Amino acid sequence: MKNRKEKQTENIQPDCRAIKPWLLDYACKTGELVPDSLTLVKKHLASCSNCSETAGDISIVARILRDISRVPDDTPSHLSLERRRNILLSFKTKYN
């Protein structure tokens, strides 16, 4: 006997609007989609060429953005001493 969730998955065909918030996660495989939602998205994409194309486009855009997202070595990972001193001064004003 199938449980209620499985029945819902079978019966509900989400329209394009309903799956939009999930499409990025599906396309980029970020792992946020719970299995039920993943099933719904897959089902919808199998029957909707528009959303399927959009998912492909989003995946390509995400890949391009990630390729250019590498922060170069010269990006400082620490605040300058002067800024750190300024923060400390403000911190001491409150906590001392």
The answer to whether the beta carbons of residues 36 and 10 sit under 8 Å apart is no
Nearest CB to another protein, comparing residues 3 and 50: 50
Cβ of residue 3: shortest distance to another protein, in angstroms? 25
Cβ of residue 37: shortest distance to another protein, in angstroms? 11
Name the site residues for another protein (rule: CB under 8 A).
20-25, 28, 30, 32, 54, 57-58, 60-62, 64-69, 71-72, 74-80, 83-84, 86-88, 90-91, 94-96
Nearest CB to another protein, comparing residues 35 and 72: 72
Cβ of residue 2: shortest distance to another protein, in angstroms? 27
Token output for 25? 């996660």
DSSP assignment string, 55-74: HHHHHHHHHHHHHT-PPPTT
| DSSP code at position 77 | S
Residue ranges in the chain assigned as alpha helix (H): 4-11, 16-28, 35-47, 49-67, 81-95
Nearest CB to another protein, comparing residues 1 and 68: 68
